[in-house]
Amino acid sequence: MSPLEIAAVIASILGVWLTAKRRMLCWPVNLLACALYFKLFLDVRLYADMALQAVFGAAILYGWVAWSRRTDDSGAVVVASLAPRHAIAALAAGAVGAVAIGWFTSRYTNAALPWADATLSSFSLVAQYWVARRHAANWLLWIVVDTLYVAMFVAKGLWPTAGLYLAMTILAAIGYRRWQAARRSELGSELA
């Protein structure tokens, strides 16, 4: 456990909590968490997750702009529905990404867990895209991904980070409930 890992854990928990609450402040906090984890994953040779943090940085900037265009009167982001065909296409892209990243990192790097790292990284990108697009389904995918991340980080001895991902799994369940309730409320307001 390093000071870097502890700082990354704290920033990440705060960022996910703010995201679950649909607050714009989640974006700069999540950007800080990305930068901290980029360095940590470089140090422990989880290269796909390290690269994922760089991509997350770009996705965070995209999400920040996208969310700023769709907020309600209280400043909370408006939740959008996810069409089944878009969900299937995104999950298929996640699977293709997992195979491509896994193949590359297993052959051309000394990655510690190339296939697990690649798969979780690829589907994290799908979940992050869904966050930026304001889909409540992002939280369901995060629950699955974060649960599997717990096992990977335990295997790497990153106990605070494993604890973080366990906490993020719980926050994802809370986020899903909150976003579903907000969506129902928004639909009710539209029908009134």
pLDDT per residue as tens digits for the range 157-170: 889 889 989 999 99
**Burial class of residue 56 (count of CB atoms within 10 Å of its CB; 0-12, 13-18, 19+):** buried
pLDDT in tens, 18-38: 998 888 899 999 999 999 999
Mean pLDDT of 78-82: 88
Torsion of CA 176, 180, 185, 186, to 10 degrees: 100
Q: What is the pLDDT of residue 175?
A: 92
User: Residue 190's pLDDT band (boundaries 50, 70, 90)?
Assistant: low
CA dihedral 66, 166, 35, 14 (to 10 degrees): 60
Banded pLDDT at 78 (limits 50, 70, 90): confident
Q: Where are the domains positioned within the chain? A: 3-68+84-191
Give the C-alpha separation, 77 to 176, whole Å. Answer: 14
Closest CA to 23 of 88, 57, 74, 65: 74
Coil, helix or strand at residue 80:
strand
Indicate whether 72 pLDDT > 90: no
pLDDT of residue 186 exceeding 90: no
Q: pLDDT value at position 191?
A: 59
Decide: 34 and 57 in contact? Cβ < 8 Å. Answer: yes
Give the per-residue pLDDT at 140.
97
